[in-house]
Amino acid sequence: MTDQKPITTTTIFLFIPNLIGYARVILALGSLAVMRFHPKICTWLYVVSCLLDAFDGAAARKFNQSTKFGAILDMVTDRCTTSCLICFLSSRYPNWAIFYQLLISLDLASHYMHMVAMLGSGQQSHKKVGKERGWFLNLYYTNTRVLFIFCAANELFFVALYLYSFPLATPPYLGSVYGIPLSYATIMAIVTFPLWLGKQCTNVIQMVQAAQVLAQVDVEERNGKLAAGSAKNK
């Protein structure tokens, strides 16, 4: 029988899903580097980085390499890449800046509170959502197809707005509707808008339920201290 080598931090950092996560970061940085002046290259880099998000989870399950570090890396990469793109949209559509700021705030607050609530309740990953958190969040996080469709539509909607801000870079135009010129970016925005809106609603639901979980943890801790104090005074 061969003795297995002990797991070290280096071992964790070199797990396959985490290597995929690093690739996502590199691709995202590349998209940021050309975001201002090369929309096509930026879009490809950004989209591939987002698509790899589906592969790191699959790799973690296949090779039994799910880790807290990997879960945090996945969450942070998602939030940072989306936030950076929305920040750029604020500069391209300055009249909508406060709207984009609120979207970033909702996204970050919702996912941070959800992550803390899940880890605080003993879960290894923010995606291990039980039915006690509601049927919708349970479906959203445990059904990989549903999660992928919502997340992909959310990112593609923002990408469509990004491309639409470069009118000369997104031909051909396919006619117009009510005076609005139709391009592939316009059509992509129209198609993904309902799911994008659903994703924002999911963020609100997630934040409210995470607040309830955190408050319940506080209740249990305080009641536990009160009970311990009462027992000590007897």
- The residues carrying an active-site annotation are 78
159-196 exposure pattern, b = at least 16 Cβ within 10 A, e = fewer: bbbbbbbbeeebeeeeeeeeeeeebebbebbeebeebb
CA pair distance 223, 225, nearest whole angstrom:
5
Q: Please name the residue that has the structure tokens 């970061």.
A: 25
The 3-class SS string of 116-159 reads: HHHHHCCCCCCCCCCHHHCHHHHHHHHCHHHHHHHHHHHHHHHH
Tokens standing for 42?
A: 């930026």
Biggest distance spanned by C-alpha atoms of the chain: 82
CA pair distance 214, 118, nearest whole angstrom:
9
Nearest to 127 by CA among 139, 135, 23: 139
